[in-house]
Structure 1
């Protein structure tokens, strides 16, 4: 008598092969398993999730820090001595790493949903570990070089908090079916309770999060203050070389109501415009005076300074990726720029009926004009012919000798201290003053100028806060913001809670008892599953199935059909 062995016909599982093949290099069916993942693989899953969250934070930081890319490059220049755009390689590597880790995380979630054992391929383990360590190194580097920039995260939440909250709710809702399936399949009750408890805590925290939101743009539309005026910070340095005549002209053309400049005193007492302590970055001093390229800019006389080219560096380095958009005439004009004097800038402001904000760099003690820099600056203001009321004085020294000029400071002071010093306005970094403090200053008739404001989202927040003016490197960008990007009407004190469904139970009527019992042991070993199948088959046979009755089992990888008459396929 010939014994017939059960035959199995396996269905092709292309998607499962794709998921397990890319994630763990397990392309063959026999390489896969539905057993529980080992603790080692669970640890790697935790590392993968941690890398994803860290990269998400890192990418969000650089997305918001775009407002201050110019300051970051300037800090790197002061440390390395070379001017280049350091943000591009950081953004490129962050994008690649985030996409890679996100793809692996999605594959891991598919493993969990399909009941497959996690087994990350060793190449991916090395890639995830390298990405994690690189990101941690980047965070440490930024904290050391640019630690104050972390404040932009708190400022950005005033704008992005509602959208981040909505995205978090959608994500938690999307993974609810994964959590439910994982809890149902687990055999250990303590793990089930722990996972379910963590999920519910996260969900409740997200529902209560709107109570902590502080957003200036949640307001009555009719309470919106006038559009803040824009001050051209060093002109329009993204369109032309900073602190040059053409840069200030471009700022005025793009709607700047005032001009801001950095003033340095030459060795012969001529105030000129220069941000750096040396002339290396923005002039060709390395070619004209190579032996003096590291010398302080204030120790050059005006004749020497005037002989330097102050525009060619902009065309060669293209710091803002805008040189390609320039016409031949504009390139020729920029390439012939020289260092601008304070008198030239003030005359341009007077001609355009605009005002000027002066950031004056005091010369060092050994400088010949150390004691007379104050009078040199005032003589230049008077020589330019601009009304004194249009000039804002920034230095905190010699305020008693300044008459007729507006007084401002970059130090955050109380209202009482401002009145005692005779200051009429404040020039503050956007991270130094909260929305509440800004409202207090404005309520006491203290004008506030916030800097640097280069992105529309930050400009919109300050607009909703009622700030009268901002200082910007990108007046051409802010000109395109005729209204805050978004306004949310405050309809009442009660927050709107988002409700999410944890589980959706449907389609159970399509399951027969065999399917239910086999699903209950889906997470058991393959040997246990086979034993369960045999018990089901022979229990039905012993119950007296007729010769025409058939019992069809549809295992995961195919089907086997049994009958009293033998085996058919």
Structure 2
């Protein structure tokens, strides 16, 4: 008997040691079935200037696991995180470079863009915030543990940006197994850009921004895992049609709705069966959708 107890104690001790060495649970994987994934649209732009590192940190502070951003290319080939194809709305470029209208992102060098204030337009306390490079953005996400919904913004303006973006993701370690499986989705309004992305890196999950006709959804399922639609285009019939198809990776295609800032609209979309909601107010929508899922549908 004493021998058996000793053996059991040894086994339990070894098991505890293994559990202690095991990595913590991954909080960045998609939400379990029955709950929607909430994506911070450009970070947490209701609280900090969009697409900036401060916006990402604010989303992290709110407990938001997924953030969405936009990538474009400078004149000298650097990848930067900014939404508009012009710098005018979210920087002080008009004051610093008054003679270079329409201030297109692709007509400025990285060094020039890095001199711009990307936060003062939002609130005085954010003055001095800069437009981040994609590498800076990825490095911050690795520190916060957040996941990324990365939009190729108007890729037709930047030939080859699909390859360049994948190369940058690879250099940053974002094309390894854990990142690709749980922490990265590439999306675009451009079906050709997504086809190229899927051809170059079939393991990377992709989402098409828009609402293709139901009759064409099967064509998109060849290269896209998600259909990410403007919220007014989402109906229960459309969600069912998307869910009926299998994309390259998941058992069924997913539907994410954007840009949803109203709790009432969010709970209505949950009732329609969406898998994710992209929002400027991720904390508010997270709370609203969790409340909805606690009640029977």
TM-score, normalising length: structure 1: 0.40
Asked if residue 392 in structure 1 is aligned to residue 185 in structure 2, the reply is: yes
Select the residue among 10, 26, 35 that pairs with 1:227.
Answer: 35
**Distance in 2 (alpha carbons) for counterparts of 1:336 and 1:260:** 22
Q: 1:485 to 1:456 in 2, by over 3 A?
A: farther
The answer as to whether partners of 2:43 and 2:58 remain within 8 angstroms in 1 is: yes
Select the residue among 318, 342, 361 that pairs with 2:153.
Answer: 361
Asked if residue 403 in structure 1 is aligned to residue 202 in structure 2, the reply is: yes
Equivalent in the alignment of 1:42? none
Q: CA deviation at 1:263?
A: 1.2
Q: CA deviation at 1:231?
A: 0.4
Determine helix, strand or coil for the equivalent of 2:234.
coil
**Distance in 2 (alpha carbons) for counterparts of 1:301 and 1:363:** 18
Where structure 2 has 5 or more consecutive residues not aligned to the other structure, the ranges are 1-32, 246-251
Asked if residue 245 in structure 1 is aligned to residue 38 in structure 2, the reply is: no
**Distance in 1 (alpha carbons) for counterparts of 2:139 and 2:256:** 23
Where structure 1 has 5 or more consecutive residues not aligned to the other structure, the ranges are 1-224, 317-330, 490-569
Q: CA deviation at 1:443?
A: 4.4
Equivalent in the alignment of 1:324? none
Which structure features the higher share of strand residues?
2
Equivalent in the alignment of 2:117? 309
Select the residue among 231, 241, 248 that pairs with 1:440.
Answer: 241
Select the residue among 260, 265, 289 that pairs with 2:73.
Answer: 265
Equivalent in the alignment of 1:464? 271
RMSD: 2.4
Equivalent in the alignment of 1:382? 170
Determine helix, strand or coil for the equivalent of 1:400.
helix
Show the 5 A alignment for 1:158-307.
226-307=34-115
**Distance in 1 (alpha carbons) for counterparts of 2:154 and 2:262:** 31
Deviations 1:243-265 (A, max 9, x none): 10010111122232211111111
Q: CA deviation at 1:466?
A: 2.8
Asked if residue 338 in structure 1 is aligned to residue 137 in structure 2, the reply is: no
Determine helix, strand or coil for the equivalent of 1:483.
helix
The answer as to whether partners of 1:263 and 1:272 remain within 8 angstroms in 2 is: yes
Determine helix, strand or coil for the equivalent of 1:408.
strand
Q: CA deviation at 1:487?
A: 6.2
Equivalent in the alignment of 1:454? 261
TM-score, normalising length: structure 2: 0.74
**Distance in 2 (alpha carbons) for counterparts of 1:315 and 1:424:** 38
Q: 1:284 to 1:478 in 2, by over 3 A?
A: same
Select the residue among 123, 139, 158 that pairs with 1:347.
Answer: 139
Q: CA deviation at 1:278?
A: 1.6
**Distance in 2 (alpha carbons) for counterparts of 1:427 and 1:402:** 20
**Distance in 1 (alpha carbons) for counterparts of 2:96 and 2:228:** 37
The answer as to whether partners of 1:231 and 1:469 remain within 8 angstroms in 2 is: yes
The answer as to whether partners of 1:265 and 1:362 remain within 8 angstroms in 2 is: no
The answer as to whether partners of 1:269 and 1:373 remain within 8 angstroms in 2 is: no
Q: CA deviation at 1:454?
A: 0.8
The answer as to whether partners of 1:347 and 1:385 remain within 8 angstroms in 2 is: no
**Distance in 2 (alpha carbons) for counterparts of 1:245 and 1:447:** 28
The answer as to whether partners of 2:211 and 2:233 remain within 8 angstroms in 1 is: yes
**Distance in 2 (alpha carbons) for counterparts of 1:362 and 1:447:** 23
**Distance in 2 (alpha carbons) for counterparts of 1:412 and 1:286:** 35
Q: 1:460 to 1:486 in 2, by over 3 A?
A: farther
Deviations 1:82-108 (A, max 9, x none): xxxxxxxxxxxxxxxxxxxxxxxxxxx
**Distance in 2 (alpha carbons) for counterparts of 1:371 and 1:356:** 23
**Distance in 2 (alpha carbons) for counterparts of 1:381 and 1:312:** 29
Q: CA deviation at 1:485?
A: 9.5
Q: CA deviation at 1:305?
A: 0.6
Select the residue among 213, 220, 224 that pairs with 1:418.
Answer: 220
Tell me the number of residue pairs that the alignment of Structure 1 and Structure 2 aligns: 244
Which structure features the higher share of helix residues?
1
The answer as to whether partners of 1:234 and 1:247 remain within 8 angstroms in 2 is: yes
**Distance in 2 (alpha carbons) for counterparts of 1:379 and 1:427:** 24
Equivalent in the alignment of 2:280? 473
